[in-house]
Amino acid sequence: MQFEETVMGFFLNHQEKHHRTYHFLILMDALISAAKHIEHYYLTGTLKGNIGLTGNVNVHGDDVLQMDQIAQEITVHYLRSSGRVIHAISEESDEIVPINEDGRYFVYFDPLDGSSNVPHGLPVGFMFGIAKRNLDGHEDYHLRAGRDYIAAGMFVIPTGTFTLALKDAGTWRFHIDETMEFVRPTRMMLPENPKGWELSFNSANRPTYSKAVQSWIARNETKYAFRYIGALAADFHRTLSTGGMFMYPAIVNHPDPKKNRPQGKLRLMYEAAVVSFICHEAGGNGVDETGSPVLDVQPRDLHQRSALYVGSKPLVDDITRSLKS
Ligand code: FDP
């Protein structure tokens, strides 16, 4: 028989090796429990009729699905019962979510990202970033740049995969086994050989991108395969395995100017910074529309948006030159 190392075994070893506290383990246990719970609801959602619309619209103007609400409720429940989280910032909540005054961590999350896949039962993401409360000083600010995160991760639901990056300790991927444990930590590094690299972006939006981005695509599109699932965690999961670049550029040339999104579409704190952090720990890079590292962007509001170019360094560096020119 073959036995695999479990995610908890991995964390215990990691914490011991780095002389860290057990608080982070408790938080990770809460996030993993939430992900398993969401995965269960997602898998059974079609049967139970849980995947339709609630009739509400969220802070971003998106229709709220029943699954969004279920995933939010589950995540807040587990974060609260962990006792380790002071505040959470969620895609599903307009305001900051107070969790536990004595908590040590800020958690930024999107419990069900990629909602257009939900009615089809196709992959969605549960994405999170974690920053530590400043326990020694007076400043306890939740608007943290990605560079300040201590960890970031994404579950691709319902595929049973979990990718986690730990600050200065690499990016790791886990798979769920027959007992519903995440097991077999596998170190992820973006492949250096460009042969299998892929590009991922919503090609229908192409005419709406800046001229610089449109010409970059025209110069590069025949060199790489093109893949787009339409859920950031699922698309970026591929990018990380195969190498290449995922992008969601700013929309600046829409025929209906009201539909332009010069700030980009993705949310900075629980989408763009999460995948940029994961990518950075796997040897890659992530930049915004100005070509600046996403991890350096200081958020000014909870639901700030960002354009995103993330993946293998040579490609991100190349598009950065175009963005800056
Ligand atoms: P969605 O709007 O379906 O929730 O930011 C959310 C997100 O999905 C990402 O997961 C995904 O990468 C992107 O938006 C998809 O947007 P398009 O439908 O415009 O391609």
For residues 108 and 54, which has the higher predicted lDDT (pLDDT)? Answer: 108
pLDDT in the model for residue 219: 97
Ligand 1 and 200: CB distance under 6 A: no
Give the closest residue to 108 by CA, choosing from 152, 65, 168, 174. 152
Ligand 1 and 202: CB distance under 6 A: yes
pLDDT in the model for residue 41: 87
pLDDT in the model for residue 15: 86
The residue behind tokens 């100017």 is: 257
Rg (CA), the chain: 19
Ligand 1 and 241: CB distance under 6 A: no
Q: How far apart are CA 110 and CA 14, in angstroms?
A: 26
Dump pLDDT digits (tens) for 193-225.
Answer: 999 999 999 999 999 999 999 999 999 999 999
Give the closest residue to 299 by CA, choosing from 129, 115, 127, 86. 129
pLDDT in the model for residue 30: 98
Ligand 1 and 114: CB distance under 6 A: yes
Q: For a substitution probing ligand 1, which of 60, 67, 91, 116 has the most ligand atoms within 8 Å of its CB?
A: 116
Q: How far apart are CA 22 and CA 13, in angstroms?
A: 11
Q: CB within 8 A of 93, min separation 6: which ones?
A: 59, 72
For residues 99 and 54, which has the higher predicted lDDT (pLDDT)? Answer: 99
- Nearest protein Cα to ligand 1, atom 8: 114
What's the start-to-end Cα distance of the chain, in Å? 57
- Atom index in ligand 1 nearest the CA of residue 228 equals 20
Dump pLDDT digits (tens) for 235-267.
Answer: 999 999 999 999 999 999 999 999 999 999 999
